[in-house]
């Protein structure tokens, strides 16, 4: 009987890219996996090069490292010789994550944050209307207005009156404040599955999307283990999993505190996690229980879900695990909060985050 032979798939090099670009694309992925450890990432890249012959006689790893320094992607400590990635590299890694996860936005035009309200807004559209008192000069379409004047008054006695003016319709864009919670408990790297790298990549893509397209929006990023704390966007490549339990309560409390300070009416929380709440603070001590679903921890988590609902803050949970009892917890929490929940594999996580980011807007002004 003839069967199937399974072999490793080795993708072809991008012939339209230079040797530097091909190596740089691979190195960016390795820098994420190594949490920004340049030496380790370059060591891995050297081993990959030995196996797949990425470089050649004209361009080797030494040339690549020199180009990284010349282009400002790496900085080198003159005393220790230690390499570190620069702010330029951090931005390039976020840009790469954006292209990988949300690249199709350029073609589809999705995610414009538009409401159904028209008038003196931010974004032009193709609709035209007559001039109204209060319209600003920059809204007037001079080409269409002059054409109307020629039709209405003729060429010999040209005049432009208020009745000839046409105005470009505009749409308001909603402003949204988002808090992204990322689980950094130990379970995010258990059983040989790297769950933290895709979570970091999604966070970087979302942050770059907001910085580029939705500059009036805000994004705060929280990590939670035994405790919860806020991190900056620039810190994302360096994020690591720790020997932590999962204090979802601390994450939700911090997220609510941050959103209370935001003045716009559209607020939401995204939570990326792979486990159940297993930890909470009782005074100065931690209360922990990794076995099953502890009622004390669960009840407080549910209470916070209800508090978010009262504040009109939906929580969208992206559960990157499929255990039945975890699904029951997420289902109950989502019901109490009136939010959303997705049980995602790592590959589809980015698309789900974007779709919910787009659809979860209340379109309030």
Based on the fold, state whether residues 137 and 270 are members of the same structural domain: no
Based on the fold, state whether residues 183 and 217 are members of the same structural domain: yes
Q: Lowest-confidence range among 130-139, 167-176, 255-264, 270-279?
A: 167-176
Q: Which helix (H) or strand (E) holds 177?
A: strand 176-183
Based on the fold, state whether residues 54 and 161 are members of the same structural domain: no
Per the domain annotation, does 75 fall within a domain?
yes
pLDDT at res. 211: 86
pLDDT at res. 363: 41
From residue 305, give the alpha-carbon distance in Å to each of 17, 187, 217, 248, 362: 48, 23, 23, 11, 18
Q: Is the pLDDT of residue 90 over 80?
A: yes
The residue segments making up the domain with residue 220 are 176-359
Per the domain annotation, does 68 fall within a domain?
yes
pTM as predicted: 0.74
Span 35-54, mean pLDDT? 93
What share of the chain has pLDDT > 90, as a percent?
45
pLDDT at res. 116: 36
Out of 37, 66, 85, a domain closes at 85
Rounded to the nearest integer, the mean pLDDT of the chain is: 83
Span 259-267, mean pLDDT? 90
Based on the fold, state whether residues 131 and 76 are members of the same structural domain: no
Based on the fold, state whether residues 47 and 74 are members of the same structural domain: yes
Based on the fold, state whether residues 128 and 236 are members of the same structural domain: no
Q: Could you please report the per-residue DSSP string of 274-314?
A: SS---EEEETTEEEE--SS--HHHHHHHHHHHHHHHHTT--
Based on the fold, state whether residues 143 and 270 are members of the same structural domain: no
Based on the fold, state whether residues 230 and 266 are members of the same structural domain: yes
Based on the fold, state whether residues 193 and 161 are members of the same structural domain: no
pLDDT at res. 73: 95
Based on the fold, state whether residues 283 and 204 are members of the same structural domain: yes
Per the domain annotation, does 105 fall within a domain?
no
Based on the fold, state whether residues 56 and 145 are members of the same structural domain: no
Q: What are 195-251's pLDDT values in tens digits?
A: 898 889 888 988 998 888 888 899 999 999 999 999 999 999 999 999 999 999 999
pLDDT at res. 144: 83
Per the domain annotation, does 49 fall within a domain?
yes
How sure is the predictor about 182, in pLDDT bands with cuts at 50, 70 and 90? very high
Q: How many domains does the chain have?
A: 3
Q: What are 307-354's pLDDT values in tens digits?
A: 999 999 999 888 877 677 778 888 899 999 999 888 766 667 777 776
Q: Are 319 and 342 in contact (CB under 8 A)?
A: yes
* CA separation for the pair 272, 200 (Å, rounded): 10
Q: What are 101-139's pLDDT values in tens digits?
A: 776 544 444 434 443 333 344 445 556 777 777 777 777
307 vs 159, more confident: 307
pLDDT at res. 259: 96
Per the domain annotation, does 91 fall within a domain?
no
For helices 248-260 and 295-310, the axis angle rounded to 10 degrees is 20
Instruction: Give which of 81, 98, 82, 89 is closest to 31, Cα–Cα.
Output: 89
pLDDT at res. 336: 96
Based on the fold, state whether residues 210 and 168 are members of the same structural domain: no
Per the domain annotation, does 109 fall within a domain?
no
Q: Lowest-confidence range among 10-14, 52-56, 321-325?
A: 10-14
Per the domain annotation, does 104 fall within a domain?
no
Out of 153, 173, 193, a domain closes at 173
Instruction: Give SS3 for 58.
Output: coil
Per the domain annotation, does 14 fall within a domain?
no
Q: The domain spanning residue 182 has which CATH number? A: 3.40.50.410
């Amino acid at each position: 009987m003839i069967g199937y032979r399974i072999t490793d798939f080795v993708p072809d090099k991008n012939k339209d890219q230079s040797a530097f670009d091909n190596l740089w694309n691979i190195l960016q992925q390795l820098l994420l996996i190594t949490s920004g450890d340049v030496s380790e990432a370059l060591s891995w890249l050297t081993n990959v090069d030995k196996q797949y012959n990425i470089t050649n006689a004209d361009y080797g790893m030494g040339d690549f490292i020199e180009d990284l320094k010349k282009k400002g992607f790496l900085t080198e400590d003159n005393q220790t010789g230690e390499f570190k990635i620069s702010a330029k590299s951090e931005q390039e890694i976020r840009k790469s994550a954006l292209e990988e996860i949300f690249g199709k936005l350029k073609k589809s035009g999705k995610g414009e944050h538009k409401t159904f309200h028209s008038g003196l807004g931010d974004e032009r559209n193709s609709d035209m209307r007559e001039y109204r008192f209060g319209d600003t000069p920059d809204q007037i379409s001079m080409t269409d207005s002059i054409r109307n004047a020629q039709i209405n008054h003729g060429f010999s006695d040209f005049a432009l009156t208020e009745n000839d003016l046409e105005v470009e319709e505009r749409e308001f864009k909603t402003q949204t404040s988002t808090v992204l919670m990322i689980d950094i408990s130990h379970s995010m790297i258990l059983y040989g599955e790297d769950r933290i790298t895709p979570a970091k990549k999604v966070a970087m893509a979302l942050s770059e999307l907001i910085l580029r397209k939705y500059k009036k929006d805000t994004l705060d990023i929280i990590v939670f283990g035994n405790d919860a704390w806020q991190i900056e966007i620039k810190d994302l490549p360096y994020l690591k999993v720790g020997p932590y339990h999962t204090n979802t309560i601390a994450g939700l409390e911090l997220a609510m505190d941050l959103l209370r300070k935001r003045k716009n009416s559209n607020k939401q929380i995204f939570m990326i996690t792979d486990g159940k709440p297993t930890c909470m603070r009782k005074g100065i001590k931690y209360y922990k229980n990794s076995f099953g679903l502890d009622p004390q921890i669960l009840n407080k988590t549910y209470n916070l879900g209800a508090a978010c609902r009262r504040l009109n803050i939906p929580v969208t949970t992206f559960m990157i695990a499929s255990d039945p009892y975890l699904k029951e917890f997420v289902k109950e929490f989502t019901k109490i909060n009136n939010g959303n929940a997705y049980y995602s594999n790592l590959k589809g996580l980015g698309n789900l985050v974007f779709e919910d980011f787009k659809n979860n807007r209340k379109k309030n002004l």
